[in-house]
Chains A and B, each alone.
Chain A
C-alpha cells in the first residue's frame, strides 16, 4: 500500500465547517433510494416472489371464487364487478404490505449484519435518514404494484386509464403507512428469527381481517366481531383508499385514518431509533463483544 498523502486525498481543507444544505440532503436521499433499488434488482427472487404472490391470488384464488362470491354494487363501483376486479386493490395492498414489511426486515438484517450502522453514523439527522430509508422502500414497492397492475390489465382488470394516475398518491400514502409500521416493529426486534415470527402475527392477520378479500358488509353478515376487527385494522383503510383512487375518487375517511396512522407509526419509529430515547440503547448490539 502506498501513502494517501501522495494523491492529496486527505488534504487539509476537509470542509467540515460547511453546513449541509438542501443539495446535500438530496444527495443523501438519492444515495439511499439508489441503494435500495440496487439491492432489489440484485435480489431477483425477491422481485419475482413479490409478483408471484398476488398473481397467484388473482389467477387462482379469485378465479375459483368468482362463481361463489358475488359482489353487489358498492362504491366506488357503479356496476356489478367480477371478483377479480374487487380483489385487485386488496392485492395492491398486499404488495405494499409485504414489501413494507420486507423493507423493514432488511433493516433487522442490516442491523444484524452491521450495515445499519453505516446509515446511523451519518451526520445527517436520524429522522431524515429513517424517512429517506422509508421512502426508498415505498418507491420500490410502488414500482412492484404498477408491474402487477399491468399484468392484471391483461387478465381483464381494467380500471379507468386516469385511475392509474390517481392511484399513485394513494399507493404512496398506504406504502408509507405500512413501511412505517414495519420500521416501528423492526426497532423492537433484536434478531431476524424473532422478526419472522412477528410477521406471521402481523402480515396475515392484517391481510385477512380487512376488506382486501371481502366487502365489509359481507363480513358483517358473517361475523359482527370480525367486522369490528376489520374496522380497527389500518390495512382496511389503506385498501379502501387505493380502491377508490383507482376509480378516480377519494375516500376521505380512509385518507384521514391512513394519514393519522402514518404520523403514529412514523413518530413511533423515529422515537424508537432515537439513540437517547429509543429502544436500541437498551439492547446489546451484535457484532462486537461489549
Chain B
C-alpha cells in the first residue's frame, strides 16, 4: 500500500531517470545518423551531407557478406547445441534433488561469470595442447559453452512451473515417456525454450572476446568489426554493418521479452 502523496516522483528523480535512459540510448541512435553521412574519411559531426549509398555498397561487399554468413552459421549451430544441452540439464536439475545439484548451477554460470578473456585463453591453450586446428568448429565449441547458461536459466524457471501431477496424469493415461515429453512437457516449456534460444543466438551472434581466441582465419561479423575499430579503413561500411548488428541482435531480444513477459522471470536478465 502506498499513500497518494508518494505515488508522484520528485522532479529531480524524474530528470535523473530520464537522463540515465537518454545516456543509455543516444549513443546507439547516433550510429544510425552516421550511416547516412557523406563523409568517409573522419567521424566529423555534424555530417556534411546525407546519402543512402553506403547501404548498397556494404551489401555488395563480399567480405561483409562472408562474415555475416559465418556469424549466422556459428550462432545457429551453437544455439542448437546449447538448447539441447541446456534443456537436458534444466530437466535434470528441476525434476529431482541429488548430490551436487548446487554445483551444477555454478558450473553452468561459470563460463559467463568469469571474464570472457579467461574462457577464451583457456580454450585456446587447450586447443593448442591437443593440436586441434582452428576452424569454424572451434568457434562453435566456445560459443555453445557459454550459451548453455541462457537456455538453462529460461528452461529451469519454466520447468518449476510445470507441475509434476500433469506428467503423472499423462503417464496414468497410458502415454510413454517420449509421448509425455512430446505432448505434455514440450508444449509447456516451448516458449521458454524459444526465448532461451533467441537470447543464445543474440549472445553468440555478437560475441567477440572468446571468438578472437578460438578462431584462426575465420572472420565472424564482430571480428570483422573489431578489425575496423582498431584500424579504421572503411568507415561508412562499418557504420552500416553496425546498424545491421544492432537490428539482428535486437529482434530476438524483443521476441524473447514478448514470449516470456507473463512469466515470473522475464528472459534476458542474466546476460
A-B interaction? no
